[in-house]
Chain A
Amino acid sequence: MSENYNDNKIIQAQSSETVSAGGSGATPDIDYVRPAEVLEQDLYHGHSFITKWVFCQDAKVIGIQYFLLATFTGIIGLILSWLMRLQLGYPELAGFMTAEHYYQFVTMHGMIMVVYFLTALFLGGFGNYLIPLMTGARDMVFPYVNMVSFWMFFVAVMVLMASFFVPGGPTGAGWTLYPPQAILEGTPGSGMGIILMLVSLVLFVIGFTMGGLNYLITVLQSRTRGMTLMRLPLSVWGIFTATILAMLAFPALLVGGLMLVLDTILGTSFFMPTILKAGEVLEYGGGSPILFQHLFWFFGHPEVYIVALPAFGIVSDLISVHARKNIFGYRMMVWAIVAIGGLSFFVWAHHMYVSGMNPWFGFFFASTTLIIAVPTAMKVYNWILTLWRGNIRMNVVMLWCLGFILTFVNGGITGLFLGNVTVDVPLSDTYFVIAHFHMVMGIAPLMVIMGAVYHWFPLVSGRMLSEKLGKWHFWVTFLGAYSIYFPMHYLGFIGVPRRYFEMYDSPYVTSAVGMNEFISMAAFLVGAAQFILIYNIIKSLKTGKLAGKNPWKANSLEWFTPTVPPEHGNWGNKLPIVYRWPYDYSVPGAKEDFIPQTTPPSKVSDTEVEKT
């Protein structure tokens, strides 16, 4: 193998199949690709408004539906965060808000942003839109199930929203929903609120499973001719691995949720120890509260990577396209994604250092946690090395990518603080934690989402977004987000506890008040800046510059559909054939600085392409 490899490392524009499969004749056909294995997919084409836009079986429409609904819930999450910041920065203006309201807003903000916004947006939104296009499939493999998946998500969101209107309001137990307090009287929303939250989560998991099976099988079993796994864009790799994580992590949430529902409704004591309340012993007894924490975080930690891995993948593609360079260390990037995904199942208890579990247990989880830093750092180096001496286009997409790298490194480094037991214990439940996870899994993935929106909007709509508005949007968001979360590290160091409605007469007050006002101002500004994007989208849909085909001069398949935006079935009469990876940018000897995946070797025989 090794000798062959050396010979073929720089080959005359051939691909791996051409060497092995076409070598029978005297002059092998270098454009040979194996014939199709799988029969053409039958698709159900919608013919009315309802089947085309509502109960649609086209993955692209389902992706947009996911995107819009997730954005809608995200805006609600944003408004909740405004209300929280109003209370923290200017309590005198927030007289309408009680402590109960504040806890409910904290809880709903957290759950909405993590599950119903980021997870749904990355996997449901980008996953549905990009996977079939990037793998060269006509659609997802089970379009009907895919459609049901979105409507399950819709019902889950509606149930979640309904909890705002039930007696007692939504649950205020914190997004981790820890029992016993989550279901005991005294916690806001301990009756209907928590039940609806758990029911909504169960529905979300069921709906997601339907979608997730589709994403996985489409990547594994329905790629186009010539598309090997190692020629997939990293976006697909990120979404694919995140989906595997979700398929294995959501079960723990489902089980924990069901047990907590039973504790609430039937009065079982899975998680409920003997409890004294106002001198009275409650009916509960003998359960294990820490069991819920284990179940929750066995879901909760992979969940972080369910959000992060698609972001890693997408940002790799965006950087490569807009730096006009192949992604540095593609294979290592793939293996890093897989390694991070695998390791993420062995770190969950680092969220529980102060939970009362055996401290030695904590040190094991500290080690695994720090090991994750290795593949993650590798990815960061590779992004930077991709930029290194690239032909960088400083457009809005690139700005978001650079913003991502900065915020992600920042949040990652504070992760090293919190991953160590001895450093974590004093920092637990302070604003340092808030700063850390908002940087690393709030702002950083959001930067990628924004970059991806500016990047793929021309494909979805056929028109470009305004660069000028985009730059305003970026700079306000980026500088504003730093102004919000950077001071929070300091608040954490001086010991300001998180989730507190107000600081009362604590010694932090004098130094924290001014800072809280500043953070709140920044939060209002950053939130408002997001409406620039909405305005930009609405305006550009009507009057934006026409994009035409492949406006970014990208290589990956989604830009090579016969029509822009692509129609149902994606590829017209003929499926594309793939000859190379999607990163042949600035190839020496090539006429243009990009060689699309569909370009056969014979067309570029005088260039030095790498073997992929």
Chain B
Amino acid sequence: MSDPKIEGYDFKPGFRGLAQDAGSDQTMFKGVHWGKAMMWIFLLSDTFIFSCFLISYMKGRGSTPAEWPNPSEVFALHVGGVSVPLLLIAIMTFVLITSSGTMALAVKYGYERNRKMCGWLILATALGGLTFVGMQAFEWSKLIHEGVRPWTNPFGAPQFGSFFFMITGFHGTHVSIGVIFLSIYAYKTFAGHYDTGKRGWFTTIKGDYVEIEILGLYWHFVDLVWVFIFAFFYLW
């Protein structure tokens, strides 16, 4: 990463640079797009939401008197008569992390103004997200079939179902929103809105490939959160 060129402003390295940027006029984060700064702050806020969910989950799991179900049994898949623990989750996680990779590539091709590659990679990312949500729906329906409900389940503490459906549901909503936006952005990329600087549908902000990076930040965040949910729900 190199510093952007700003007339009349000399960047300094390290903490001195941080202090100088903070003490300067006009902008705190030099050369950073407004939308990108906004996304970072939004993600910080969203981190607090997921932290509250996960801490509540820990507290709930810790204080319920009934026994907590064993995740490696509950989330196992039966393949050819053999029970394979965490198989579906492993695939889901792999798909989601892969989609992070395609997203990063999309950002790169976007900045290189390779419109076609960028668009296809965004579509691939959306497809990955869609696959994830689809597999999650499969997992939900399997658990519901086995009698797991938000208020009860046959395996142990009723809070298991409550927290599971709430937190994976909240994360799945994030993924779904991401997929919707990815589809819109794929359309906009193929239509060349980012090359021509066409204004957004409701705003006066001009299209720019930086928007793909901003959406990418969101997408990577959703993946990162999944890693934590994975660890707390399936491995603990």
Contacts and interface: CB of A to CB of B under 8 A. Distances in A.
B34 A217 contact: yes
Interface in B116-155: 150-151
Interface string B45-70: 11011011100100110011110000
Contact of A221 (B34, B60, B151): B34
A43 interface: yes
A514 interface: no
B3 interface: no
Interface string B19-57: 000111111111110110110011011101101110010
Interface stretch (B79-87, B97-105, B188-196, B199-207): B199-207
Contact of A295 (B6, B32, B52, B170): B52
B203 A222 contact: no
Interface residues of B, number: 52
A17 B23 CA distance: 11
Contacts of A473: none
A509 interface: no
Nearest to A252: B52
Interface stretch (A255-263, A390-398, A447-455, A544-552): A255-263
B56 A578 contact: no
Contact of B29 (A209, A221, A259, A267): A221
A228 interface: yes
B158 interface: yes
A283 B149 CA distance: 14
Contact of B41 (A142, A217, A227, A230): A217
A223 interface: yes
B26 A227 contact: yes
Which has the most chain A C-beta neighbours within 10 Å: B41, B42, B46, B199? B41
Interface in B157-171: 157-159, 161-163, 166, 170
B150 A254 contact: no
A287 B60 contact: yes
Contacts of A298: 52
A213 B44 CA distance: 11
A475 interface: no
B9 interface: yes
A43 B204 contact: yes
B60 A291 contact: yes
A256 B60 CA distance: 13
Interface residues of A, number: 57
A37 B4 CA distance: 11
B23, B35, B45, B64 interface centre (most CB from chain A within 10 Å): B45
A287 B64 contact: yes
Contacts of A254: 49, 52
A42 B22 CA distance: 26
B9 A262 contact: no
A34 B25 contact: yes
Contacts of A230: 23
A221 B32 CA distance: 8
A220 interface: yes
Contacts of B34: 141-142, 217, 221-222
B199 to A, nearest CB: 8
B13 interface: no
Given A217-B37, A252-B52, A262-B166, A37 B44 contact: no
A255 B38 contact: no
Given A37-B6, A144-B203, A247-B45, 10 more contacts: A34-B9, A209-B45, A213-B41, A224-B26, A225-B25, A262-B162, A268-B159, A270-B60, A286-B157, A294-B59
Interface of A: 17, 21, 33-38, 42-44, 141-144, 209, 213, 216-217, 220-231, 247-248, 250-252, 254-256, 258-259, 262, 266-270, 283, 285-288, 291, 294-295, 298, 578
10 contacts: A142-B203, A213-B41, A221-B27, A223-B26, A247-B41, A247-B44, A247-B45, A255-B49, A269-B151, A270-B163
Nearest 9 CB-CB pairs, A to B? A251-B48, A255-B52, A268-B162, A34-B8, A286-B64, A251-B49, A42-B204, A267-B151, A220-B28
